[in-house]
Structure 1
Amino acid sequence: MPISKSGRPAGKFASQGEDLAAHRQTEESIVAAGALQSAIFNSANFSSIATDARGVIQIFNVGAERMLGYTAAEVMNTITPADISDPQELIARAKALSAELATPITPGFEALVFKASRGIEDIYELTYIRKDGTRFPAVVSVTALRDAPGTIIGYLLIGTDNTARKLVEEEQKKSDQRLRDQQFYTRSLIESNIDALMTTDPSGIITDVNKQMEALTGCTRDELIGAPFKDCFTDPDRAEAGIKRVLSEKSVTDYELTARARDGKQTVVSYNATTFYDRKRTLQGVFAAARDVTERKRVEAELQQAKADAESASRTKSDFLASMSHEIRTPMNSIMGIADLLAKTALTPEQDKYVQIFRRSGDNLLNLINDILDLSKVEASQLDLERTGFSLTDHLEKVIEMVAPRAAQKGLSLVWMIAPDVSNDLVGDPARLRQVLLNLLGNAIKFTLTGRVSLSVERDQDGSNPTDLRFTVVDTGIGIPGDKLRQVFERFTQADSSTTRRFGGSGLGLTISKQLVELMGGRIWVESEIEVGSRFGFSVPLAIWADADRPKLAPRDADADVPQPRLRILLAEDSPDNRTIALAYLADTPHRVDVAETGAIACAMVEACRYDLVLMDRQMPVMDGLTATRTIRAWEAANDRPLTPIIALTASALKGDRETCLAAGCTAYLTKPIKQDVLLHAIREHSTLKVPAATASPAEDQTRPAARKLAARRPAYLLNCRQTAIDLDAALAGLDFETVILLGHNLRGSGGAFGFQAITDLGAGLEAAGERRDGAATRAGVMALSAFLDQAEAAPSAA
């Protein structure tokens, strides 16, 4: 074989080798290109659907399967792409293309490929319908497939899921709409504001204004934007200083400036401003509001002048009244003194009659002078209230003593009453309180011809303060017409102001009463009915006079004093039966007893009211007695209050229980069941007011009324115990041993007092079983309790 100089085969053989190599290279390129096309065509990221010339699907790639839910076998040679497209969109597309291209186009596959069939690039959006009926938006690119001569042999539709982009576009639309709405809302707020509003950049250049600012300056919005803020005011330096102050202090309030309009008009404004920032907290400028205060300044000046004139007039009036009072009192003193001296001499009946007229007229005139002087002091704010401790009972007794002769002279019944829950020891202004009561009682007696006048004192349930007291004066007098009720508290006004009226007087008493009550922080009112009577009431806040506030008295001989004031006792007890026992024991004593059902309530009541002694049950829900005692002691120490005697009441009598109670702050310790004489002795021994023991009868005699009351309550107590047995059974079923302990404890403390020692013993056993978490022993105790109750209810006397 010939060999060329280069070493390659020569001639025909060399040419054949080169052709073979080229052919292999071409085949490899074709294979590579085919592989690349196959990889692209079968990509799962987009759908590739190829049809024949009629539109019948011939190729359905993996991406199409994944997007549409069909397998290739289900659609190939079966349907066209139009069958998986929204039919309404096909109709709309056919109509639009027909108009665009001036050619009738049939809705269906033709509408999808018409442009591509004419060689026009076509990319459009449509909605594909999946096999399961769900829809999704897609962007589709359509290409006509042609053979070598150019004849269309089919179409290729490449689609991508447009859902994500659609969502983004939709959210963007919503965001844009929200932004437009917010801008519109903000602009509406700015324009609807009554103040002149503006924004400036940090250098004080105006960036926006509202119509009020345009009106204030006489300039248009375009003229103002870009202008220096300071140029809008008569004092540019002060205006610029206002901007700088906002920038340094972040805000300015009531900074006074005078705005100057284009026509020279000047307006005093209150300038209020604050800095504002973008989302990155970068300073953007100042937001300012200027309110026209010209009218306010004028009104303020007028009010200041009116106030000064009124104060001057009030001082002049008060000085005049004080001077006149002094001048009138001097001769009045002589007149009344002489009348009193004459009354003590030997006079004929006629002379005595004249002297009494002098005395009554003098008293009336002096009362009138006092009323006028008091009224002038109240109006001039010169009347100061005292704040001192006083006894309500003693105070009312003195008031009644002062009006009783006038009531007796007319044959009227005069009665008074203080509700049991009203504290006797109060802090307030007793003199002014007495003045109001004397005015109301005096009026009631004056306008009552027959019947009675009554005074009652009770806690005001409608008041904001728990120590507010309500005083009510009721009479059976002539009454007040409805159309006159609103006038009775006006000065120099009477319900009957005619020249034929039966009753005299200045009409100042009720006016002064109203002024004094309101000065004390209270309110006054009246209800009345003609020929039936009137009811005057007033409510005032009065504090409780604690022992720590009272002056120290020199010790006195106890034997020379018995009876001391009744005690105010707080009973803290959650068991209704035990409350019944304690209240029965104390029913025949003068003591007043308040009840708290939990330790927490007891603490609140001690803080609100001064008690002479507290009877504290040890075991209670919410807050037990020992915790309550410690809380009370802490409150007393923190508020520098004297210690309230606290007697612990408990069914526990084990070693160490007494020490535990005393360590918690209790004064003494009593075990249940408690006998009446033991309880009374403990109260006498440990109360803040030592109550002497009764000597008129033996202790046994004192216990008999209580024993009779408790005996009468036995049937009800047994019913309560029956319910307790049911509750115990339910607690046991739920393994609620805490409830077993509590119910057993209550039985232990109450049974003996009602005469059922067996219930006390059974309660102790149940309490102990609950503490051991012993279900069997608890069930046995409940059964024993039920059996005993059956026996007791059948024959209570035998039990």
Structure 2
Amino acid sequence: MNKQKDFTFFSKLMACANMGWWKANLATLSYECSEHIAELLGLDKTGIISFEDFDKRILKGEQHLTAIYALGVLQIPESVYLLDTKRGAVWVRSKVCFKETDEEGNTIVYGIVEIQDAPDMASAYQALQYSERLLRKIFKHLPVGIELYNKNGILMDLNDKELEMFHVDKKEDILGINIFDNPIFPEEMKKRLRNNEDADFTFRYDFSKVGQYYPNSKKEGTIDLVTKVTTLYDDNHNPVSYLLINADKTETTVAYNKIQEFEEFFELVGDYAKVGYVHYNILSGQGYAQKSWYRNIGEADGTPLSEIFGIYRHFHPDDRESMIRFLEDARKGAAVKFNHEIRVLRADGAYTWTHVNLLVKKYAPQDNIIELIGINYDITELKETEEKLVKARDKAEASDRLKSAFLANMSHEIRTPLNAIVGFSSLLASTEDVAEKELYNSLISHNNELLLNLINDVLDLSKIESGYLELHPNWFNLAELLNESVAEYACQVPSGIELRTNYPEQDFLVDLDRLRIKQILNNFLSNSLKNTTRGHIEVFYEIDSCCVRIGVSDTGRGIAQNMREKIFERFEKVDSFAQGAGLGLSICKSIVDKMNGRILIDSQLGIGSTFVIELPCQSVQV
């Protein structure tokens, strides 16, 4: 075998694998490197470099010195670092293989080195070391007590919280005790531990019973512990150690009770104020929401949030679109706030109102996090109140306008009969002609009646507004009352119009307020006479077992569809130029409402109108 040839072959093979070898002399504090490594570092043919010079080439690593120089006794046989070479910065993994003593008694260490083409393996190695340190740090500072025993029950390690819970000054005072000798640890748990069975249990730890088991500074008192025991295994599933985790139940219980108390209080506030809260991650679909939050958007409590966000099955289509658009913008990072009033469809088919506020609390899509915080509250009552206020405002504004018009009309309506009365009274005193006197007396009487009716309407309106409208029902013959009104208006009927009646064959007595019935009927007749120029006006009534219907129909000009409801409002008239203040029908409706009845109207433009009052009452056939 040619050793030189073999050496050359293996050196070339390692170089092709981007590897090399090194030899460290601890006496001379120097490395001798293979040709591949020497060429990479720019060394001469000897391939020798001192520890000090080599350390200067290290740019980044877990150790700031080389493995050999730093560790000396070779406690860690492998290290990774970033090395400055002729090719630039290169990740290097160096591994110690063995050591020997030469003829002069010097310690020689041999190793191999791998040149990484990318930092992946080095990064993984560093991540592993970082994880180990992190795990050790967590173990040390975890807010629960941790004990680690070997398979024979000997305590090998414990964390700071355990020392604090059991009042031990330092770890060295307690290491080496055997858990199976613990006088407080339950025997049942010791048995399960020997059988390598995992267990969770609660027990009271009494410090007065510790005795000489371990030195501690607390000789009396108790703590309630929640303990978890588990067995740790090696790769071949052989038990190698026991892990105990202890938590002070008192602290946990107090904290839990406080959380429960706060949650209950928050739920109570949410229920009372109809306010809900949600916390949701758009990307993971995970989150939490209060019961009141579900209720405010029409969803069942406990419905997965991923089945609500982006779907909103109970939202009005327009509102659903705006919510979905916000979520899409939030995913892109183009929107962070949403503040809208949403209509929610309920089971009865009606919509309620919910005010929705959403805020993007954390935007980190690279970590699979787009975190939303949302608060909603039911504003249905507020909306209804707002709507009522708007209607009240509009009504007040309309009433103010109508009252202004009413005052203007009143001045005109009062002045017109007064002028006629004063004027014709003056003419009456100066004329000697009998026919003229009769005409003037008739005109004065007519205008007196108009003025009196106007004043009565104003007085009735005042009583209605103040709530003093009173009814005085009594028995009377309905046909006689209607005939009386017809007779009073017969002289006012123009030529070409027929005033007629249509009654049942038998007369009836009814128990109603006679004066109020006549007032309503006179108003209907007066309106028909004002609006009818041809055809007829008919007064009629009908009676059944529980109610009476009294009406007036005409062949007048009729009423437009959009005016049929308005004419019953105060100060409203179909024709603003027609005589009257626009109070009659409004007063009639108030009287009928007081009698628990209703007014019906049927009218067509150019054909005529029919007004009917329907009143509950007792009746007797005469």
Shorter-chain TM-score range: 0.3 to 0.5
Q: TM-score, normalised by structure 2?
A: 0.33
Highest RCO, 1 vs 2 (Cα 8 Å, sep ≥ 6): 2
Query: Greater helix percent: which structure?
Result: 1
Query: Greater strand percent: which structure?
Result: 2
Q: TM-score, normalised by structure 1?
A: 0.26
